[in-house]
Structure 1
């Protein structure tokens, strides 16, 4: 224990970050990444439309669980072992864990890449979207590079240094924007230029302009996917160069005073023991997107066979001219995933940073049996996550249509299809955003089995809802959010209860969830009313949306301040927290 205390103190003097400092670094990077991502996905949706986004999102929905495995699951396992080793003063173990993980993850990435390339056609046919085969195959290299980066990210996160992860994410986002849009635009224009000159699109005869546009979309979508593969390679190169030129914070003195590293076999066994359940949990988190991918288009086809007129009546004015019945499932799926899911994923992407930052802190305090620090970190993360997730989810519920029209102004038809779906997904946002940090903290206290079990149980609920609801012609794609709400409602309620039981935490429910919920309702109502007022000839629709968001956000902040919704312990953990705390205390605004 003495070695561990010395190891902790030595690293604290260097580049270790507190839970909230690390979370803020990752959150700042995530905001930048999401802004850049919006500059990528929004123009891409405007370029490709619902049909092209259907192909793109088929590949992306398959890639997401594999990428999460590489960039969330595997780094978590490395981070947990490295943080525990440092806490116990075994810095040589931490170094060896990094080297072992690099070898293991490179092998995993190679297998994943080969499987994705060779299985692209079979997978695309199985989900009812054979046109996506090229896009799926092109995504393969991204799995390899994602696994490569996971060892570097996990090692630095275990040392409580979130900066390398944050910077590499920004590098990837910039490269994805530049190469993805460039490749997609070039291949789209090149294909249409070939049609204008020869009447063919990449060697396939096109009978009309509409036919040519349909033929070029699978290739243009694959170009956008190729940009993602290139971006992961850029992120890998950045982390490799940084590791080579920058110190990691472990000094020669610490290595010299550290006990001899355990054998590779023992550490490898420990790594796999931690990695397997964590990776299963990480992959299972994306289970709902895989369920959507595997069920939505197939069940939409069933709905069309049963009563095509009901769906045509519902979307008749929103479907492209000349679209056949067989193309409607891909178009609706592309509108749902390319527009609604893109907005839906923004909030969980922010709150997952809290879990990433909390995991090494909770792991190290739990490893040395510092239960007071463990409880303090867990309660803080739950409070901060609720403060972010609740108003965001309720705001999306209130302004789903205006938000989609703001972001996808040139795709009014797809936005109209996605708006009713996104409205109910706003409620699911709260549950998904809260569940991610809870899962990370369960992994940190040695209960990685709980997220796996709960997400599999939730996945069955989601699959059942999709199977039953989407095949009903009058419901169709609108049934997808119902399963997501029920799925994550089950996951969060049971997982949170187990986390509290394992750690002995008695949550202050009113302070943690009650005040943010009341403030969030007020925020949503104010935003909805403000949009109604501003859109009546005062501002344009897009300016009205921005003004409504500002009004709702302002109300939320004021409510929390005057109801003392901010807790002093949380504020003190922020950079410059002492100064902020003194100012808020002066006016009696801290809880």
Structure 2
């Protein structure tokens, strides 16, 4: 790998990482006023609509952007830009047709899913139909992002994500506020329609960059016109032959789908699991706690828990993304020593970087929940909401391992076992939910989500061990477990103390904000200190970490030596 390639990879990863983090935090921030405006019942309807939309969005794009990126980059690498552009045009037509079909399906079948399957009622149907037009835009946006990625230009993708979230945030909140004057259902629909406006804004950004790239390509072609003219006679016959043998759209679609179907099956896993949660809570629990309370739990899990539990995933996977292409390259060269080294490295990075965020959110769930979203609407929701956030976030740790190990398997081209693991995980999720909900209610449903990710993680790691030798932490795993136990005990003790005694103002939200800062800061500070005390992290490990993390650990080490 050349220095230029490494720089491009690091730059692209950095752009997408920052954009993903900004978009995630904007998405979480959007939920704060929506929870205040729509309350748990309205957020339940909103979550039912949004999760179904998310699944169909992944299916509509069918992993085509990733496959398109690979094919486009390969064509440009061997000097065939015309073929790359033909593949791009074919993918654009696929996106347009898929968008129209999925929009129609989402609109027509909204009542069946929202009312008969999820028991969300007419408000959920209205919210689902309000977000349906977004399907017209996002398949096209996804294809354009894949093309730009293939051209090694990540800036349009990053900026479009951020712009999309800004417009979604502003319009969702604004429309929900205005339309609540009509009814709660219209308010929820207004919040959902913000996704449509976000899609229009993102498409506008992508079209701007597409025109800019087209002008740059035209200018590049103009600069080479003299050379092309000199070679025109000699190349004319070959060009004619190439034109006659140009790849057909059917061949393009066959190649794209062959590459993309395994990707979509793996990519849709988390979205599908979260959609299962919002779909089965009411049918499974309304008989014991009532429909209103069950819909409120859907609002808590979709509007609060899933938002916060999604943060550690981005932080961990973003750190490991830059290593996965290296694994793919080494595996294709049969350099198993390098594959082993990089597999160990990527798994260590994902676990050690994702774990602190998981611990911080899980321990500080109560002050974070009450500060960001306010108290739940009912005593039942208020007593269970923070615990739901904690449990779902703890399960996210295994989601990190599942996604990272799955990405390594993808880099090795081991797609068949990966798809089998997804099927097993979903089966565990469904069976666990129906069995455990009888005894543990909502916690049984959330716990089965964790079991799903645990099963997939174990299967992924087992398949990896058949391919390559690697060690995640080895004997240091005992030190990590000891560190976790100490952090949990001290962190929960600190959370109880702040919740009980730290009430400096008369505003409960401000008090919870202060408590959240104290608990999060205390827990986050304990993590690097204990990892070094228990020798889980060594000097060699630190050298492989990102520069900001290296500086933080170096400072912590100096403090320990002085003490």
TM-score by length of 2: 0.82
Distance 1:55 1:476, change over 3 A: same
1:54 and 1:335 in contact (8 A); partners too? yes
**CA deviation digits over 1:18-53, x for unaligned, max 9?**
3xx544433322222222222210110111111100
**CA deviation digits over 1:516-570, x for unaligned, max 9?**
5554444433332332333443453331221111111112123345637267587
**Residue among 170, 173, 183 paired with 2:175:** 183
1:286 and 2:278 correspond: no
Deviates more, 1:404-413 or 1:42-51: 404-413
Deviation at 1:401, TM superposition (A): 2.2
1:59 and 2:46 correspond: no
1:571 and 1:581 in contact (8 A); partners too? no
Deviation at 1:84, TM superposition (A): 5.2
Query: In the aligned structure 2, how far is the partner of 1:269 from the partner of 1:435?
Result: 29
1:327 and 2:292 correspond: yes
Query: In the aligned structure 1, how far is the partner of 2:191 from the partner of 2:497?
Result: 39
Query: In the aligned structure 2, how far is the partner of 1:522 from the partner of 1:72?
Result: 44
Aligned to 1:553: 524
Which segments of 5 or more consecutive residues in structure 1 lack a partner in the other structure? 1-7, 192-215, 305-310, 312-324
Query: In the aligned structure 1, how far is the partner of 2:403 from the partner of 2:343?
Result: 13
Aligned to 1:507: 471
Query: In the aligned structure 1, how far is the partner of 2:89 from the partner of 2:329?
Result: 21
Aligned to 2:353: 388
Matches within 5 A, 1:47-446: 47-69=37-59, 73-83=63-73, 94-126=84-116, 127-131=118-122, 132-188=124-180, 190-191=181-182, 216-246=183-213, 263-264=247-248, 265-301=250-286, 303-304=287-288, 311=289, 325-354=290-319, 357-358=322-323, 360-367=325-332, 369=334, 371=336, 374-411=339-376, 413=378, 414-446=381-413
1:51 and 1:334 in contact (8 A); partners too? yes
1:52 and 1:334 in contact (8 A); partners too? yes
Query: In the aligned structure 2, how far is the partner of 1:547 from the partner of 1:119?
Result: 47
1:355 and 1:441 in contact (8 A); partners too? no
Aligned to 1:467: 434
2:316 and 2:400 in contact (8 A); partners too? yes
**Residue among 13, 25, 35 paired with 1:35:** 25
Query: In the aligned structure 1, how far is the partner of 2:88 from the partner of 2:301?
Result: 40
Query: In the aligned structure 1, how far is the partner of 2:293 from the partner of 2:491?
Result: 34
Aligned to 1:201: none
Aligned to 1:565: 537
1:532 and 2:465 correspond: no
Distance 1:123 1:533, change over 3 A: closer
Distance 1:158 1:568, change over 3 A: farther
Query: In the aligned structure 2, how far is the partner of 1:454 from the partner of 1:220?
Result: 40
Query: In the aligned structure 1, how far is the partner of 2:152 from the partner of 2:542?
Result: 18
Aligned to 2:232: none
Distance 1:249 1:429, change over 3 A: farther
Query: In the aligned structure 2, how far is the partner of 1:96 from the partner of 1:379?
Result: 39
Superposed CA RMSD: 3.7
Any idea what SS the aligned residue of 2:137 has? helix
**CA deviation digits over 1:306-335, x for unaligned, max 9?**
xxxxx4xxxxxxxxxxxxx44332222222
Distance 1:507 1:91, change over 3 A: farther
Aligned to 1:5: none
1:390 and 1:517 in contact (8 A); partners too? no
Query: In the aligned structure 2, how far is the partner of 1:364 from the partner of 1:353?
Result: 19
Deviates more, 1:221-230 or 1:568-577: 568-577
Distance 1:368 1:524, change over 3 A: same
Query: In the aligned structure 1, how far is the partner of 2:542 from the partner of 2:156?
Result: 24
Any idea what SS the aligned residue of 1:139 has? helix
**CA deviation digits over 1:463-510, x for unaligned, max 9?**
1122123245xx3222111211111100011112213433x2422433
Deviation at 1:300, TM superposition (A): 1.3
2:487 and 2:526 in contact (8 A); partners too? yes
**CA deviation digits over 1:163-187, x for unaligned, max 9?**
3322221111111111110110010
Query: In the aligned structure 2, how far is the partner of 1:459 from the partner of 1:508?
Result: 26
Query: In the aligned structure 2, how far is the partner of 1:91 from the partner of 1:518?
Result: 55
Query: In the aligned structure 2, how far is the partner of 1:359 from the partner of 1:249?
Result: 31
**CA deviation digits over 1:257-309, x for unaligned, max 9?**
9x9796244443221111122122222332212322332211113x33xxxxx
1:12 and 2:11 correspond: no
Any idea what SS the aligned residue of 2:9 has? coil
Distance 1:497 1:244, change over 3 A: farther
Any idea what SS the aligned residue of 2:414 has? coil
Deviation at 1:109, TM superposition (A): 1.9
Distance 1:158 1:575, change over 3 A: farther
